[in-house]
């Protein structure tokens, strides 16, 4: 949903950066891999130790590389199949690291309900992406859904960031709201593939 509304505005900001990267011989695939590796490293080193605010800020910064690889691909005129597969695969790795690190933080800290919500979000995020990929492989068009990757990351990172700043209850609301939205999106996509 956010992807549809924000794509044009974001492209105006990222396209010049993508062109700069291409001029400096940085391939879109390298941008993808750097962003993913840095996202994973920052998530697994900061979130499990309870550094939620710092983790949110650093992870958010590196997640923005996901916008730059597309801009670099457009600037290079190199929007190829391998780049798309690499980007989607790296997205799943980054999502797994972010949610998995937070699951670790919650469960080691005896926050079982938060851990349960995070596990639901982690599994649902992977299923949402899988249903879309499988539907595309079968040439079935599915609807976007209410909790695509951008929405999931925004809700999660706003919740962790505010919790890291000491705002009470916001993380629990964000996690359980995200869990409900993610389950609903799985249903949306499955239902959409049945109708197609």
Distance CA 178, CA 176 (A): 5
H or E stretch including 125? helix 112-137
Place of tokens 């900001």: 13
Q: Can you read off the two tokens belonging to residue 133?
A: 């990929």
* 91 counts as catalytic: yes
Is 95 annotated among the ligand-binding residues?
Answer: no
29 annotated as belonging to a binding site for a ligand: yes
In 65-76, which positions are buried (b, 16+ CB within 10 angstroms) versus exposed (e)?
bbbbbbbbbbbb
Tell me: is residue 3 an annotated ligand-binding position: no
Q: Is 160 annotated as a binding residue?
A: no
Q: Is 74 annotated among the ligand-binding residues?
A: yes
Determine whether the annotation assigns residue 167 to a binding site.
no
Torsion angles phi and psi, residue 24, rounded to 5: -95, 25
Task: Report whether 30 belongs to an annotated binding site.
Answer: yes
The catalytic position among 91, 95, 110, 172 is 91
Q: Which residues are annotated as a binding site?
A: 29-32, 66, 69-70, 74, 87, 91
| Catalytic positions, written as ranges | 91
Binding region for a CDP-1,2-diacyl-sn-glycerol: 29-32, 70, 74
Binding residues for Mg(2+): 66, 69, 87, 91
């Amino acid at each position: 949903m956010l992807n549809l509304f924000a794509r044009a505005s974001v492209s105006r900001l990222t396209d010049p950066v993508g062109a700069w990267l291409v001029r400096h011989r940085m391939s879109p695939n390298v941008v993808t891999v750097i962003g993913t590796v840095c996202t994973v490293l920052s998530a697994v080193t900061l979130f499990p130790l309870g550094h939620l605010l710092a983790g949110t800020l650093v992870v958010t910064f590196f997640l923005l590389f996901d916008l730059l690889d597309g801009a670099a691909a457009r600037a290079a005129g190199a929007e190829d199949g391998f780049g798309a597969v690499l980007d989607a695969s790296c997205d799943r790795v980054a999502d797994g690291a972010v949610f998995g690190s937070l699951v670790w933080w919650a469960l080691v800290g005896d926050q079982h309900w938060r851990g349960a919500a995070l596990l639901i979000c982690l599994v649902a995020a992977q299923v949402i992406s899988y249903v879309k990929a499988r539907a595309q492989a079968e040439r079935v068009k599915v609807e976007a859904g209410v909790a695509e990757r951008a929405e999931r990351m925004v809700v999660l990172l706003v919740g962790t960031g505010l919790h890291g700043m000491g705002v009470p209850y916001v993380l629990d609301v964000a996690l359980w709201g995200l869990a409900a939205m993610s389950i609903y999106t799985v249903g949306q996509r499955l239902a959409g593939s049945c109708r197609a």
